[in-house]
Structure 1
Amino acid sequence: MDDNLDFTTGDAGASSTFPMQCSALRKNGYVVLRGRPCRIVEMSTSKTGKHGHAKVHMVGLDIFTSRKYEDICPSTHNVDVPTVKRNDYQLIGITDGYLSLMTDNGEVREDLKVAEGDLGKEIQNRYEAGDDVMITVQHAMNLEAAVAVKLMAKQ
């Protein structure tokens, strides 16, 4: 037995991915393609050939970068599926390119960068206009990013 085991991560043991049979995947579901968490945008299954299994052809878009990935796997094989979580936070500030976000229980987190591209510009513009906005943060495979912005309902 190894005496140098490190148990200091504080992880509850939940994995960032879980296996699923390729034939059980569906369009708009999630899958890991080329090591990246992706949303499936196209799927097709070829018939069984003389050498074995039906093959599933998948096209997915990276959920953080929107980059396109493709893969083909036998329908009976297992593939990794990322555990994807989405949380909404209230935007309370932007400092040096980082978002200041408040959770439902009042805690503040300031470790998330402003999104790139149009989403980042929209967040910046709404903040500068004084709008009360919610930022949707997506988390998968130890990565997280702001993926949406919406106006908060007035009370």
Structure 2
Amino acid sequence: MSTSKTGKHGHAKVHLVGLDIFTGKKLEELCPSTHNMDVPNVSRKEYQLLDISDDGYLSLMSDDGETKDDVKVPEGEAGEKIERLFKKEEKDTSEYRSVIIATLTI
């Protein structure tokens, strides 16, 4: 974040640069320094992947042993990769972890 000085046309400007938490894409925004900006609340939790049900839901376990069975396998490339890695894991002894990132903007 950087701030420019007030110019002859009014307000100082703020230049914000950030990364999209889902895609990793770099984003930029230029806005007057007197304007409010929305900021999301972001939570991140890691789970061990235990199983994938026939109806497309993940069976996950947190570090404290709680299970979570209400997360659907994502559609598209991400879901295909999760299923492919899980099937591979069944053949060897490695362990895969899922990361759930949730956002809420108020």
Q: TM-score with structure 2 length normalisation?
A: 0.70
Unpaired runs of 5+ residues, structure 1, are 1-25, 27-43, 143-155
Give, in whole Å, the separation in 2 of the partners of 1:115 and 1:60. Answer: 25
Match of 1:94 in 2: 52
Deviation track 1:81-137 (CA, whole Å, cap 9, x = no partner) reads: 112121110001112222111112222111112234333222111111124211111
Q: Which has the larger strand fraction?
A: 1
Structure 2 unaligned segments of length 5 or more: list them.
none
* Candidates 65, 72, 79, aligned match of 1:120: 79
Alpha-carbon RMSD = 2.8
Amino acid at match of 2:80: K
1: CA distance between counterparts of 2:77 and 2:24?
A: 13
Structure-2 residue corresponding to 1:11? none
* Alignment correspondent of 2:69: 110
Displacement of 1:64 in angstroms is 3.7
1:137 is aligned to 2:94: no
Quote the Cα distance in structure 1 between the aligned partners of 2:75 and 2:24.
12
Which residue does the alignment assign to 1:63?
A: 21
Aligned partner letter, 2:74? A
1:74 aligns with 2:37: no
Length, aligned pairs only: 100
Instruction: Give the alignment's TM-score, normalised by structure 1.
Output: 0.51
How much does 1:72 deviate? 3.4
Secondary structure of 2:39's counterpart equals: strand
